[in-house]
Every structure is written in structure tokens, then in C-alpha cells.
Structure 1
Amino acid sequence: MTTTLITGGNKSLGYETARRLHEAGHRVIIGARDAGRGAEAAGRLGVAWVRLDVTSDSSVASAAAEVRERFGGLDVLVNNAGISGAITAMEHFDGPEVLRVLDTNTVGIVRTTHAFLPLLRESPEPVIVNVTSGLGSFAVRSDETRTEYGVPSLGYSASKAAVNMLTKIYAQFLPDVRINVVDPGYTATDFNGHAGPQTVTEGTDRIVRMATIGKDGPTGTFSDRHGPLEW
């Protein structure tokens, strides 16, 4: 059975990804910062959970040790946890605000990936899916016809652009692992006050697809539910 960990799996896109992969036959573990919310979500889904705060080295290390002890291994890691940070006029941003978003959205993926990499490398078909955004794409942000063009998301966009780059580098230097980055698209979630036109099921289409590739699947790609995207 394929064992899959989804960070930030207690709500929104992470929750729906967990539901769908569990339905597809994966042994799903959701990672959650808050024990109460994690346990409650896992109970509703019928999956397992671990306490995991991607901003804490010790929390991520403890979660990796717990997954090894309880489940014996890991095949798929979905790095989904993230925060939007401020979406506001440029004069309201400052260093600590941007650093907070980068620490969660970008450095959090580095912490989690490296903590779980030994487990993943023991799998015959290791897969990592990094969840990004069109707001982190230079091509998308430069297109005046796209919604993303007009969103003042300084910290968030910087964090997701960095996620895209680290995915390319990981894929190049970890050829034994299939590592791809996915944009869910403009989906109705807590991030945007449920304003997005896509459902969470539509928003997780590509995440689920890339979490279920085999050892001969793609690596180092950037895509959404409609197909490949420009970086």
C-alpha cells in the first residue's frame, strides 16, 4: 500500500487531497500544527495524522520519526502547508512580514523534504509534490489577462517563486525521486475568502494526479489541472 503524507492536511486543499487519495487506496497521514484540528479532520476522513509544524525543525524531525515508527515508511510527500501572508499595498510590507511567509511556504518545504528524504529513498517509487501558485510564476504574473497580474502579494509570490526554483533543483540533484510542482489554480478556499471559481476538488485534480505517478513518471515539471505551465 502506498503511504502518503500531506502537510497542512486538516483543511481546504490538503483535506480534499487526503480524502481523494484515501479513496484511491493510499494509506494517508495528514500533518497538522494543531492537535485538535488534526485529530478531528483525521477522524472525519478515516485517516491517520501526525503533529507537524513546518516552521519548526524539531516538530518536523519528530513527525518523521513518528511516521517511521508507526508506519514503517513513506512513499509520497505532498508539501501543501502554507500561509498567504499580507495581500496589501506595497508600503504596508516589511521585512518580518515577508520573512514569515518565506519561512512557512519555502523553508518549510526544505525542512520537511530533508526530514523525510531518508524514508522516501527507502520506497521503490518515491514521489514529492510541492504545491505552488500561479502568483509565483513570472510568466503568469506578466500576463495582464490573468487574475494573478493585479494581486499585490509580495511575500506570497516571492515564496512560491522560490518553491518553483527549489523544485527544479531538487529534481535535478535527486534523480531517484519524482519531484514536481503544482498550481491548484484559483480555488475557493480560506486563502481567498472562498472567492475562487474552482471547487476544492478541481483545485486538487493535479495534486492527486502528480501524487499517483509511478517511478517512470515526470520529474521537475510545473503544471495545473489543464496541463504544463510556464515558469
Structure 2
Amino acid sequence: MQTVLITGANRSIGLETSKQLSQKGLFVYLGSRSLAKGEEVVKELAEKGFQNIKAIEIDVTNPDSISKAKNIIENEQGKLDILINNAGILGVNPQTAVETSVKDIQEVFDTNFFGVISVTQAFLDLLKKSDSPRISNITSGLGSLTLHSDPNWKYYHVKAAAYGSSKSALNAYTIVLAYELRELPFKVNVIDPGYTATDFNHHSGPGSVESAASFIIKHTVTDENAPTGQFYSNDIEDETGISPW
């Protein structure tokens, strides 16, 4: 049975991804900053028939929390097959380049960028023990520099100096990570689940969490011939789903 860790998984897209992976027979560590909240969610899922899901406390901005989570998974599983770096924050609004404080921008980067790096580096040893390790970094279309430079893009006027920049940085980091792991059986990609109706955006997005989770899984649970170092977006309408960087 493959094992997956999903950060920020006690609600919204992360939660739905946990449910769908459980139904596919994977063992899911449902990451939550609060263990109590995570365990409450898992209890509710178990009552609905979901199996092989366990809450695990992990705060991606806290090195001790990450280390403890890593030790738990190592002791219980001995390896990790899939890491989905899903935890993220939006930050203050509005986010203008001329007025948003460095402190506010740094807070977003701590979770969306540095948090992903911390978790990824901590779990690399366990991932290397898998026959088919996968790392999926959850990004956003707002992280695409190409699209943001196109006045014809439907979200061209949606600018977020902290959030968008953090996702652009995440995309750049993922390219380097995929390159460095290219000789190993890793598949490392960034995945944009699309503009989805969640608590994150006050349910303003047109997409469903079911569609978002399914898209993440499609480009995460892949075979050995799948691409690595790609940017997939659920908002891209062609069959490849590949987004411009």
C-alpha cells in the first residue's frame, strides 16, 4: 500500500484529496496544524466509511513539528511514496506591490514557499526509499508570470503581491528540485487545482473541490513514463493541462 502525506489537509481541497486517495486504496496521513482538529476530521471520515486515513500534526513553519511528523511516518511506514505540499495561506488583502509590508509578504512566503522547502527536505530520505516517489507542490495560476503578463488573460487584473509572488517562487524552486532529482525515479511537479470554491476565497471560485482533488491526483499518482518538472493547471482547457510558467 502506498503512503501519502498531505499538508494542510483538514479542510477544502486537501481534505477532498485525502478522501479520494483513501478510496483508491492509499494510506493517507492527513496533515493538520492542530492534531485535535485533524483527528476530529478523521473521526468524521471514518463514520462515513473512509479508511486508511490518519491525522498527523504538522505545521510547515515549525521545524520541530516537521521533524516529529517525519519521525512518526518513518517509524510507522519506513518510507513515504507521495508528498503533496498543499498547505498555503492567502495573507492580508489587498496585496499591492507599493503598500503591502515586507512583514506581511514574509508571512505568506514562510508558509507557501519556505514551508514547502522545509517539508520537502525533511522527507526526502523517506521518499528515496519508495520505488516511485512523487512530490506535488500545489500552486496557483496566479503564480504564472507568462499569464500575468498577458492582458487578455481572464485573471489578468487579479494581482496579489504576496500570494502570487510566493507561488511564482514555488514554481521556480520546483523546477530546480525536479532537475536535481531527474536521475532518480521521482516525479516532481507543480499543480494548480484551478480557481476553486473554498474557504480560502470565500467560495468565490467556479470550480469544485472534487474536480480540484481529482486533477491533483491525476498528475500525482502517475506511472514511470509520466513527465517531471511540469506546471499543470485545472484552468487550462487543452487536454495536456500544461500551463505556461
The TM-score range, normalised by the shorter chain, is: over 0.9
Give the corresponding residue for 1:229: 243
* Number of residues of Structure 1 aligned to a counterpart in Structure 2: 231
The CA distance in 2 between the partners of 1:81 and 1:114, in whole Å, is 16
Mapped pair 1:195 → 2:204? yes
SS at structure 2 position matched to 1:154: coil
Structure 2 unaligned residues grouped into runs of 5+: 47-52
Encode CA deviations 1:207-226: one digit per residue, 9 max, x unaligned: 11122112332100001234
| 48-57 vs 65-74, greater mean Cα deviation | 65-74
Of 73, 76, 82, which aligns to 2:79?
73
Closer/same/farther in 2, CA of residues 68 and 148 from structure 1, 3 Å limit: same
Letter paired with 1:10: N
SS at structure 2 position matched to 1:123: coil
Give the corresponding residue for 1:38: 38
The CA distance in 1 between the partners of 2:209 and 2:100, in whole Å, is 29
The CA distance in 1 between the partners of 2:57 and 2:71, in whole Å, is 11
The CA distance in 2 between the partners of 1:120 and 1:220, in whole Å, is 17
Mapped pair 1:166 → 2:180? no
Mapped pair 1:207 → 2:216? yes
| 213-222 vs 25-34, greater mean Cα deviation | 213-222
Give the corresponding residue for 2:156: 149
Encode CA deviations 1:106-137: one digit per residue, 9 max, x unaligned: 00110000111000000000000000000010
Deviation of 1:229 (Å): 0.5
The CA distance in 1 between the partners of 2:81 and 2:149, in whole Å, is 36
SS at structure 2 position matched to 1:148: coil
Deviation of 1:92 (Å): 4.0
Aligned 8 A contact 1:87 1:152 in 2: no
Displacement over 4 Å in runs of 4+: none
Give the corresponding residue for 1:100: 107
For the aligned residue pairs, the C-alpha RMSD in angstroms reads 1.3
- Structure 2 length-normalised TM: 0.91
Give the corresponding residue for 2:141: 134
Give the corresponding residue for 1:26: 26
The CA distance in 2 between the partners of 1:179 and 1:161, in whole Å, is 16
Deviation of 1:37 (Å): 1.2
Deviation of 1:89 (Å): 5.3
SS at structure 2 position matched to 1:228: coil
Letter paired with 1:188: A
Larger helix proportion, structure 1 or 2?
A: 1
| 32-41 vs 107-116, greater mean Cα deviation | 32-41
The CA distance in 2 between the partners of 1:187 and 1:138, in whole Å, is 20
SS at structure 2 position matched to 1:212: coil
Letter paired with 1:130: N
Of 102, 121, 125, which aligns to 1:118?
125
**Aligned sequence identity (%):** 39
Letter paired with 1:215: E
Encode CA deviations 1:43-102: one digit per residue, 9 max, x unaligned: 223411210000011111111011111222210000000000123152541000000000
